[in-house]
Amino acid sequence: MYKKLLLSVAVMANCISTNAQTKLADDYKGTRNNPISANIFCADPTALEYNGRLYVYGSNDHQEFVANGKKGDNTYGSIKSIVVFSTDDMVNWTFHGTIDTKKLCSGWNPSAWYRGYGVSWAPSVTWRHNETTDKDEFFLYFCNSSHGVGVLTAESPVGPWKSPNKELMIAYDTPGANPLNSNANFDPGVTIDDNGVGWISFGGLGPSQIMPEAARIIKLKPNMTEVDGSAVKIHAPYHFEANELNVIGGKYVYTYCSNWAGRDATEWNNYKSEHPTSANAPGGGTMCYMVSDNPLDPDSWEFKGYYGPGVGGNNHSHLQKFQGKYYHIYHNHGDILLNAMKKSGAVDASAGDYRSICVNQADVNEQTATVNPVTLNTEGVTQIKNLNPYEWQQAETMVSCGGVEYEAFTNIKKNTKISQLGNDASENLQVNMKAGSWICVRKVDFGTNGAAKFTLRGKGTAKIELRTARAGRPLTTVEFSSTEMGDQTFEVDAAKFKGVKSNILIAVTEATDFYVDAWQFTAYDPTGIEEVVSSQKVKQQRYDLSGRKLSDANNHRGIVIEQYTDENGVKHSRKVVSCKE
Catalytic annotation, pick one of 44, 100, 244, 465: 44
Distance CA 506, CA 15 (A): 20
| Cα 476 versus chain centre, distance | 30
Contact (CB, 8 A) for 572 and 563: yes
Is 487 noted as a catalytic residue in this protein? no
Return all residues near 479 (Cβ < 8 A) that are at least 6 apart.
Answer: 461, 462, 463, 464
CA distances to 49, 340, 380 from 28, in Å? 28, 6, 15
Distance CA 443, CA 231 (A): 48
| Residue type present at position 6 | L
CA distances to 80, 185, 544 from 112, in Å? 19, 16, 60
Contact (CB, 8 A) for 269 and 257: no
Is 44 noted as a catalytic residue in this protein? yes
Determine the 3-state secondary structure of 300 from DSSP: helix
Q: Which long-range contacts (CB under 8 A, 24 or more apart) does 556-562 make?
A: 556/580, 561/481, 561/482, 561/483
Distance CA 148, CA 158 (A): 24
Distance CA 28, CA 576 (A): 40
First to last CA, the chain: 24
Catalytic annotation, pick one of 89, 100, 241, 353: 241
Burial class (CB in 10 A: 0-12, 13-18, 19+), 271: middle
Instruction: Enumerate the β-bridge partners of residue 200.
Output: 190, 218
Contact (CB, 8 A) for 41 and 356: yes
CA distances to 168, 291, 507 from 101, in Å? 12, 32, 34
For 467, the enclosing helix (H) or strand (E) is: strand 451-467
Compute the chain's Rg from CA coordinates.
27
Catalytic residues: 44, 241
